[in-house]
Structure 1
Protein backbone atom coordinates (compact mmCIF):
# COMPACT_ATOMS: atom_id res chain seq x y z
CA UNK A 1 0.00 0.00 0.00
CA UNK A 2 1.34 3.44 -0.96
CA UNK A 3 1.70 6.16 1.65
CA UNK A 4 -0.72 9.10 1.19
CA UNK A 5 0.52 12.08 -0.79
CA UNK A 6 1.26 15.08 1.35
CA UNK A 7 0.82 18.54 -0.18
CA UNK A 8 2.37 20.42 2.69
CA UNK A 9 4.35 23.54 1.82
CA UNK A 10 3.21 23.54 -1.79
CA UNK A 11 1.92 26.84 -3.14
CA UNK A 12 -1.80 27.08 -3.86
CA UNK A 13 -2.65 26.62 -7.52
CA UNK A 14 -3.20 30.05 -9.06
CA UNK A 15 -6.52 30.88 -10.65
CA UNK A 16 -6.62 31.02 -14.38
CA UNK A 17 -6.06 34.56 -15.63
CA UNK A 18 -9.42 34.64 -17.41
CA UNK A 19 -11.21 33.60 -14.23
CA UNK A 20 -9.48 36.32 -12.22
CA UNK A 21 -10.38 38.90 -14.86
CA UNK A 22 -14.05 37.88 -14.78
CA UNK A 23 -14.09 37.91 -10.99
CA UNK A 24 -12.55 41.37 -10.87
CA UNK A 25 -15.04 42.65 -13.42
CA UNK A 26 -17.98 41.23 -11.45
CA UNK A 27 -16.58 42.73 -8.26
CA UNK A 28 -16.33 46.20 -9.84
CA UNK A 29 -19.80 45.93 -11.38
CA UNK A 30 -21.23 44.88 -8.01
CA UNK A 31 -19.74 47.90 -6.27
CA UNK A 32 -20.97 50.19 -9.03
CA UNK A 33 -24.46 48.74 -8.72
CA UNK A 34 -24.43 49.40 -4.96
CA UNK A 35 -23.51 53.06 -5.52
CA UNK A 36 -26.31 53.46 -8.08
CA UNK A 37 -28.76 51.83 -5.65
CA UNK A 38 -27.59 54.09 -2.81
CA UNK A 39 -28.05 57.19 -4.96
CA UNK A 40 -31.54 55.97 -5.92
CA UNK A 41 -32.45 55.44 -2.27
CA UNK A 42 -31.11 58.88 -1.27
CA UNK A 43 -33.27 60.46 -3.97
CA UNK A 44 -36.22 58.74 -2.29
CA UNK A 45 -35.30 60.22 1.11
CA UNK A 46 -33.33 57.38 2.69
CA UNK A 47 -30.25 57.99 4.82
CA UNK A 48 -27.42 55.60 3.96
CA UNK A 49 -25.80 54.22 7.12
CA UNK A 50 -23.34 51.75 5.64
CA UNK A 51 -22.10 49.66 2.73
CA UNK A 52 -20.98 46.04 2.63
CA UNK A 53 -21.44 45.31 6.34
CA UNK A 54 -20.18 41.85 7.32
CA UNK A 55 -22.08 39.82 9.88
CA UNK A 56 -21.54 36.11 10.52
CA UNK A 57 -21.11 34.98 6.95
CA UNK A 58 -23.61 37.43 5.45
CA UNK A 59 -22.77 40.69 3.77
CA UNK A 60 -25.39 43.43 3.91
CA UNK A 61 -25.03 45.42 0.70
CA UNK A 62 -26.59 48.64 2.05
CA UNK A 63 -27.92 49.59 5.46
CA UNK A 64 -30.24 52.56 5.24
CA UNK A 65 -32.67 54.39 7.48
CA UNK A 66 -36.08 55.78 6.73
CA UNK A 67 -37.74 57.40 9.71
CA UNK A 68 -37.89 54.83 12.51
CA UNK A 69 -37.01 51.93 10.23
CA UNK A 70 -33.61 50.36 9.60
CA UNK A 71 -33.61 48.96 6.09
CA UNK A 72 -31.34 46.13 4.96
CA UNK A 73 -31.08 46.55 1.19
CA UNK A 74 -29.96 43.74 -1.08
CA UNK A 75 -28.74 44.98 -4.47
CA UNK A 76 -29.11 42.69 -7.47
CA UNK A 77 -27.74 43.54 -10.91
CA UNK A 78 -28.77 41.23 -13.75
CA UNK A 79 -29.45 41.45 -17.48
CA UNK A 80 -33.16 42.09 -16.83
CA UNK A 81 -35.08 43.65 -13.94
CA UNK A 82 -37.19 40.50 -13.66
CA UNK A 83 -34.10 38.32 -13.28
CA UNK A 84 -32.73 40.68 -10.64
CA UNK A 85 -35.97 40.65 -8.66
CA UNK A 86 -36.16 36.85 -8.70
CA UNK A 87 -32.48 36.40 -7.72
CA UNK A 88 -33.20 36.62 -3.99
CA UNK A 89 -34.28 33.24 -2.63
CA UNK A 90 -35.92 32.38 0.70
CA UNK A 91 -32.72 31.17 2.31
CA UNK A 92 -30.83 34.35 1.46
CA UNK A 93 -33.80 36.43 2.60
CA UNK A 94 -33.83 34.67 5.98
CA UNK A 95 -30.07 35.18 6.34
CA UNK A 96 -30.53 38.89 5.66
CA UNK A 97 -33.28 39.07 8.29
CA UNK A 98 -31.07 37.34 10.84
CA UNK A 99 -28.09 39.57 9.98
CA UNK A 100 -30.23 42.70 10.21
CA UNK A 101 -31.64 41.66 13.59
CA UNK A 102 -28.12 40.96 14.88
CA UNK A 103 -26.96 44.34 13.63
CA UNK A 104 -29.81 46.10 15.48
CA UNK A 105 -28.89 44.28 18.70
CA UNK A 106 -25.16 45.05 18.37
CA UNK A 107 -25.34 48.75 17.58
CA UNK A 108 -26.80 51.04 20.25
CA UNK A 109 -27.39 53.77 17.66
CA UNK A 110 -29.94 51.50 15.96
CA UNK A 111 -31.82 50.55 19.13
CA UNK A 112 -35.56 51.03 18.87
CA UNK A 113 -35.68 50.94 15.06
CA UNK A 114 -37.92 48.53 13.19
CA UNK A 115 -36.24 46.20 10.69
CA UNK A 116 -37.21 45.89 7.04
CA UNK A 117 -35.64 43.99 4.13
CA UNK A 118 -35.75 45.60 0.66
CA UNK A 119 -34.27 44.85 -2.73
CA UNK A 120 -33.06 47.24 -5.40
CA UNK A 121 -33.00 45.56 -8.80
CA UNK A 122 -30.79 46.94 -11.55
CA UNK A 123 -30.44 46.11 -15.23
CA UNK A 124 -28.55 47.86 -18.03
CA UNK A 125 -30.51 50.72 -19.56
CA UNK A 126 -33.39 50.41 -17.07
CA UNK A 127 -34.53 52.57 -14.18
CA UNK A 128 -33.78 50.84 -10.83
CA UNK A 129 -36.71 49.10 -9.20
CA UNK A 130 -37.05 49.26 -5.43
CA UNK A 131 -39.21 46.57 -3.83
CA UNK A 132 -39.95 47.13 -0.15
CA UNK A 133 -40.70 44.85 2.77
CA UNK A 134 -39.85 41.40 1.42
Structure 2
Protein backbone atom coordinates (compact mmCIF):
# COMPACT_ATOMS: atom_id res chain seq x y z
CA UNK A 1 0.00 0.00 0.00
CA UNK A 2 1.48 3.41 -0.97
CA UNK A 3 2.48 5.81 1.77
CA UNK A 4 0.52 9.05 1.90
CA UNK A 5 2.65 12.02 0.93
CA UNK A 6 2.71 15.28 2.81
CA UNK A 7 3.11 18.52 0.98
CA UNK A 8 6.23 20.33 2.16
CA UNK A 9 5.56 23.90 3.29
CA UNK A 10 8.64 26.11 3.36
CA UNK A 11 9.38 27.96 6.57
CA UNK A 12 8.48 31.66 6.78
CA UNK A 13 12.19 32.50 6.66
CA UNK A 14 12.62 30.45 3.45
CA UNK A 15 9.51 32.05 1.93
CA UNK A 16 10.92 35.50 2.70
CA UNK A 17 14.27 34.57 1.12
CA UNK A 18 12.46 33.26 -1.96
CA UNK A 19 10.46 36.48 -2.34
CA UNK A 20 13.62 38.54 -1.88
CA UNK A 21 15.44 36.51 -4.53
CA UNK A 22 12.61 36.98 -7.02
CA UNK A 23 12.60 40.73 -6.33
CA UNK A 24 16.34 40.91 -6.99
CA UNK A 25 15.94 38.98 -10.24
CA UNK A 26 13.16 41.36 -11.38
CA UNK A 27 15.33 44.38 -10.59
CA UNK A 28 18.31 42.86 -12.41
CA UNK A 29 16.11 42.07 -15.42
CA UNK A 30 14.85 45.66 -15.60
CA UNK A 31 18.36 47.03 -15.22
CA UNK A 32 19.69 44.74 -17.98
CA UNK A 33 16.89 45.75 -20.36
CA UNK A 34 17.75 49.41 -19.75
CA UNK A 35 21.31 48.51 -20.82
CA UNK A 36 20.09 46.95 -24.08
CA UNK A 37 19.91 43.29 -23.05
CA UNK A 38 17.03 40.97 -23.95
CA UNK A 39 15.96 38.55 -21.20
CA UNK A 40 15.66 35.07 -22.70
CA UNK A 41 14.76 33.14 -19.54
CA UNK A 42 14.38 33.40 -15.78
CA UNK A 43 15.10 30.80 -13.10
CA UNK A 44 16.13 27.99 -15.40
CA UNK A 45 16.70 24.75 -13.49
CA UNK A 46 19.02 22.05 -14.76
CA UNK A 47 20.41 18.85 -13.23
CA UNK A 48 23.62 20.85 -12.59
CA UNK A 49 21.95 23.80 -10.85
CA UNK A 50 19.92 26.91 -11.52
CA UNK A 51 20.60 30.03 -13.57
CA UNK A 52 18.73 33.13 -12.38
CA UNK A 53 18.69 34.95 -15.74
CA UNK A 54 19.69 34.17 -19.30
CA UNK A 55 20.18 37.37 -21.30
CA UNK A 56 21.40 38.28 -24.77
CA UNK A 57 22.91 41.43 -26.22
CA UNK A 58 24.09 41.24 -29.82
CA UNK A 59 25.93 37.95 -30.18
CA UNK A 60 26.67 37.63 -26.46
CA UNK A 61 24.67 35.27 -24.22
CA UNK A 62 25.14 35.72 -20.47
CA UNK A 63 24.10 33.22 -17.81
CA UNK A 64 23.59 35.42 -14.78
CA UNK A 65 23.59 34.83 -11.03
CA UNK A 66 21.74 37.58 -9.13
CA UNK A 67 22.34 38.36 -5.47
CA UNK A 68 20.25 40.83 -3.47
CA UNK A 69 21.48 41.89 -0.04
CA UNK A 70 20.13 44.26 2.62
CA UNK A 71 23.24 46.45 2.64
CA UNK A 72 25.95 47.37 0.16
CA UNK A 73 28.58 46.08 2.61
CA UNK A 74 27.09 42.57 2.38
CA UNK A 75 27.59 42.47 -1.40
CA UNK A 76 31.30 41.75 -1.02
CA UNK A 77 30.44 38.37 0.48
CA UNK A 78 27.42 37.51 -1.66
CA UNK A 79 29.12 35.29 -4.22
CA UNK A 80 31.71 32.56 -3.87
CA UNK A 81 33.50 30.03 -6.05
CA UNK A 82 31.09 27.21 -5.14
CA UNK A 83 28.07 29.19 -6.37
CA UNK A 84 29.88 30.29 -9.51
CA UNK A 85 30.91 26.71 -10.25
CA UNK A 86 27.28 25.63 -10.00
CA UNK A 87 26.11 28.43 -12.33
CA UNK A 88 28.88 27.63 -14.82
CA UNK A 89 27.89 23.93 -14.83
CA UNK A 90 24.25 24.87 -15.41
CA UNK A 91 25.30 27.28 -18.18
CA UNK A 92 27.16 24.48 -19.97
CA UNK A 93 24.02 22.40 -19.81
CA UNK A 94 21.89 25.29 -21.19
CA UNK A 95 24.21 26.61 -23.92
CA UNK A 96 22.71 24.53 -26.74
CA UNK A 97 19.24 25.87 -25.89
CA UNK A 98 20.10 29.57 -25.84
CA UNK A 99 23.26 30.16 -27.87
CA UNK A 100 23.47 30.11 -31.63
CA UNK A 101 26.51 29.38 -33.77
CA UNK A 102 28.94 32.28 -33.43
CA UNK A 103 27.55 33.54 -30.13
CA UNK A 104 29.93 34.30 -27.28
CA UNK A 105 29.06 32.89 -23.86
CA UNK A 106 29.88 34.06 -20.37
CA UNK A 107 28.80 33.81 -16.74
CA UNK A 108 28.00 37.13 -15.08
CA UNK A 109 26.92 38.20 -11.61
CA UNK A 110 24.66 41.11 -10.72
CA UNK A 111 24.82 42.34 -7.12
CA UNK A 112 21.97 44.50 -5.82
CA UNK A 113 21.49 46.39 -2.55
CA UNK A 114 19.32 49.38 -1.58
CA UNK A 115 20.83 52.79 -2.24
CA UNK A 116 23.54 51.70 -4.69
CA UNK A 117 23.59 51.03 -8.42
CA UNK A 118 23.51 47.37 -9.40
CA UNK A 119 27.04 46.00 -9.73
CA UNK A 120 27.41 43.93 -12.92
CA UNK A 121 30.43 41.65 -12.79
CA UNK A 122 31.09 40.50 -16.34
CA UNK A 123 32.87 37.20 -16.95
CA UNK A 124 32.75 36.35 -13.26
CA UNK A 125 33.61 32.71 -13.97
CA UNK A 126 37.05 32.17 -15.49
CA UNK A 127 38.04 28.53 -14.86
Please name the residue that 1:117 is paired with: 107
TM-score normalized with structure 2 length: 0.82
Alignment of 1:99-118 (within 5 A): 99-105=90-96, 107=97, 110-112=99-101, 113-118=103-108
Gaps in structure 2 of 5+ consecutive residues? none
Runs of 4+ displaced beyond 6 Å: none
Matched, 1:41 2:32: yes
Q: Secondary structure at the match of 1:54?
A: strand
* Partners of 2:85 and 2:19 in 1: CA distance: 26
Distance of 1:45 and 1:28 partners within structure 2 = 26
Deviation at 1:86, TM superposition (A): 3.1
Q: How does 1:88-103 map to 2 (within 5 A)?
A: 88-103=79-94
SS of aligned partner of 2:117: coil
Q: Which residue of 2 aligns with 1:81?
A: 72
User: Which of 11, 28, 32 is 2:23 aligned to?
Assistant: 32
The 8 Å contact of residues 64 and 72 in structure 1, kept in 2 or not, is answered as: yes
Structure 1 length-normalised TM: 0.78
Rg (Cα) greater in structure = 1
- In structure 1, stretches of 5+ residues that fail to align are 1-8
Give aligned pairs, total: 122
- Give me the CA root mean square deviation: 2.3
Aligned to 1:132: 122
